[in-house]
Amino acid sequence: MTSAPRREITGFSNPTVKFIRSLREKKHRKTSAKFLVEGLRLLTDARESGYLPEILILSTAREPHPLLEKLEIDLGQTGADVIETSPDILAKITGKSNPQAVAGVFAEFDTSLDTIDRSSAYIWLVAQDLRDPGNLGTMLRTGDAVGAGGLILIDDCADPFSVEAVRASMGAIFTQKLAKARWDEFLPWLRSGKNGAPGQLVAASLRDAVPYRGAPYQAPCFLLVGNESQGLPEDYEAACDLRVTMPMKGRADSLNAAMAGAVLAYEVLASFD
């Protein structure tokens, strides 16, 4: 039960500092397949979901905390790099003037469709061209709330491993499965019945749609939500098994994509009860 050994870093130009800092940019995350997680709360969410950081960064200004001790003990045998550094260097790494006292670098998960076992959950969220990392994180969180299996990102979505998306997920990035695919990979995958289960594709839509309340949802149900400003392409909607619509009492485009996903997901959840 010994903690991992720590090393101290005092220089801004230290290569590890530079590497961690680079993870704020998508291209560097892509190259290294690592991402940065800030704060003891998210690191604890990760640990409790079975994920440990490859690098743990501790501020010399941190307060002792039992959850941090647990994390250090769990890291003891893993060969993780545990670094102690100044608040100034942490501020540089995170780009924040008041950085959290702890951060961690994790390996990105495998996000291929093959990792999705559709029979493991009744609900799956699917987002197409979702551009806002906050919305993306919120959808992960909603998925967690409704007991969804995970989130499938279609076409050009925001990066789920960005600091903003990870933070907005409130830890759900570690509990929800995550996959990325182009539409023309996703649809054959869904229709193939691979992994031995079918899948109903449901679009939140305004065209040729039935009311979302009491619609004939079937598990596993894949709930497809479109881009924040464009909605879903017409041919994507046409390929769905069911198109449902929600009342819009105000302006035509009044509902946020993540919000529409949540209302719909709760309706599907209730219909399966």
Q: Which residues bind its own copies (CB under 8 A)?
A: 45, 134, 138, 141-147, 170-172, 175, 213, 246-251, 253-256, 258-259, 262-263, 266, 269-270
Given the complex with its own copies, which of 45 and 237 has the nearer CB atom? Answer: 45
Nearest Cα to Cα of residue 174 among 44, 7, 18 = 44
Given the complex with its own copies, which of 29 and 141 has the nearer CB atom? Answer: 141
Given the complex with its own copies, which of 147 and 216 has the nearer CB atom? Answer: 147
Round to whole Å and give the CA distance between 192 and 89: 50
Round to whole Å and give the CA distance between 180 and 52: 23
- The least CB distance from residue 41 to its own copies, in Å, is 10
- The least CB distance from residue 58 to its own copies, in Å, is 24
* Coil/strand/helix, residue 112: coil
Q: Angle at Cα 233 formed by Cα 231 and Cα 234, nearest 5°?
A: 115
Contact 209, 111 (CB under 8 A): no
Given the complex with its own copies, which of 94 and 175 has the nearer CB atom? Answer: 175
CA distances from 13 to 34, 98, 146 (A): 20, 20, 45
Orientation angle between helical segments 133-146 and 257-271, nearest 10 degrees: 10
Given the complex with its own copies, which of 86 and 256 has the nearer CB atom? Answer: 256
Round to whole Å and give the CA distance between 197 and 120: 10
- The least CB distance from residue 255 to its own copies, in Å, is 5
- The least CB distance from residue 130 to its own copies, in Å, is 15
- The least CB distance from residue 141 to its own copies, in Å, is 6
Written as six digits, the tokens of 110 are 């495998």
Round to whole Å and give the CA distance between 140 and 144: 6
- The least CB distance from residue 164 to its own copies, in Å, is 11
- The least CB distance from residue 67 to its own copies, in Å, is 15
For 108, which DSSP code? P
Bond from prior residue into 220 cis (ω within 30 degrees of 0): yes
Given the complex with its own copies, which of 143 and 231 has the nearer CB atom? Answer: 143
CA distances from 36 to 26, 180, 259 (A): 11, 19, 26
Given the complex with its own copies, which of 110 and 253 has the nearer CB atom? Answer: 253
Contact 109, 178 (CB under 8 A): yes
